[in-house]
Amino acid sequence: MPAYYSNGPIKFHYSDQGKGNPLVFLHGLGADLNQSREMIQKVTGYRKITLDFRGHGKTIRFITDGDASMAVFSQDLFQLLQYLKVEYCTLGGISLGAAVAMKFTLQYPDLVERLVLVRPAWLNEKDSEHFRLLKLAHDYIQKYGVVTGKEYFEENPEFIEAKKLFPEYTSSLLGHFSRSQGSTAYSLLKHLPEDVPFAEMEDLVQIKIPTLVVGTAQDPLHPLAYAEKIAEFITLSQLEILPSKYLHPKEHLKQCQNKIAGFLVK
């Protein structure tokens, strides 16, 4: 049975299951809470909370350009935790979810006791080159719509070249054209890559809680160097380097689930 709560004009879809200390896990750009729930499937003994970000999944609202910021997403999370009367939590996320988790932890340090960052794609540099195809997808949807835009996108030379090396990655890019809110929330693909979760790398020194950072090599959207850099600045972090999700998806998922579950029993 879907669970919803209203925050102003937005009706947020969320999941709240199990008992124990709260574990909040956040999905990536274009995904939904099913991705989050799968990633923490092997974790036991926690109250597991996930949500669909605005413009994603079953969260109901037309997204505007002003909605597409990490500060807004972080505030949405804060409002959900207030609604659920969560006073503290272990917080984690994948890609965009990891960026929002860092943003939230820096804004509300007293609410987070442990942190899990899977395949971070953002540092403090706006509009990094690895977001180029995401923003190109935005341009095609804006100009041609999701159906014709997808056809043109697949014919783009940059897409074709990326497909030769990482077919799983380009398949995920095409998912932005077919997801339920693709035709209305495509501004996410432009504005979130232009945003950052923190201003300076030194800001991460403020995070003084146990942190698991998961990175992968051979990942065109989630540079391993980003995971390494984050782990360098968060003092109490441990870095785990796993097989590429785009080359070895099943092994990546299995190992990531195990690493998260192991980290959270300590």
Domain that holds residue 146: 129-188
Which one, of 54, 23, 13, 18, lies nearest residue 263 by Cα?
23
Q: Do 137 and 179 sit in the same domain of this protein?
A: yes
Specify the pLDDT at position 1: 62
Q: Which of 188, 210, 229 is the last residue of a domain?
A: 188
Q: Do 134 and 251 sit in the same domain of this protein?
A: no
Per-residue pLDDT tens over the stretch 201-219:
999 999 999 999 999 999 9
pLDDT at 172 over 80: yes
Q: Which of 188, 208, 234 is the last residue of a domain?
A: 188
- Mean pLDDT for the stretch of residues 96-120: 98
List for the chain the helix, strand, coil content (%; round to 5).
45, 20, 35
Q: Do 167 and 223 sit in the same domain of this protein?
A: no
Based on the structure, what is the number of domains in the chain?
2
Q: Which two tokens stand for residue 218?
A: 């051979």
Going by C-beta distance under 8 Å and a sequence separation of 6 or more, which residues neighbour residue 129?
none
Place of tokens 């959900």: 80
The torsion region of residue 242 among left (phi > 0), alpha (psi -120 to 50) and beta comes to beta
Q: Do 77 and 176 sit in the same domain of this protein?
A: no
Angle at 216 between CA 213 and CA 222, to 5 degrees: 85
3-state secondary structure at position 179: coil
Specify the pLDDT at position 266: 63
Q: Do 253 and 168 sit in the same domain of this protein?
A: no
| Residue type, position 116, single letter | V
Per-residue pLDDT tens over the stretch 63-91:
888 889 999 999 999 999 999 999 999 99
Place of tokens 């979130």: 192
pTM over 0.75? The answer is: yes
Q: Do 162 and 66 sit in the same domain of this protein?
A: no
Per-residue pLDDT tens over the stretch 25-46:
999 999 999 999 999 999 999 9
CA distance 194 to 122: 10
Q: Which of 158, 188, 218 is the last residue of a domain?
A: 188
Q: Do 35 and 147 sit in the same domain of this protein?
A: no
Q: Do 13 and 61 sit in the same domain of this protein?
A: yes
Angle at 113 between CA 107 and CA 116, to 5 degrees: 85
Q: Which two tokens stand for residue 52?
A: 């669909």
Q: Which two tokens stand for residue 62?
A: 């037309």
Per-residue pLDDT tens over the stretch 125-138:
998 999 999 999 99
CB 5 within 8 A of CB 14: yes
CB 14 within 8 A of CB 33: yes
Q: Do 15 and 76 sit in the same domain of this protein?
A: yes
Q: Do 15 and 78 sit in the same domain of this protein?
A: yes
Q: Which two tokens stand for residue 240?
A: 């785990």
Burial of 35 (0-12, 13-18, 19+ CB in 10 A): buried
Q: Do 117 and 138 sit in the same domain of this protein?
A: no
Q: Do 110 and 149 sit in the same domain of this protein?
A: no
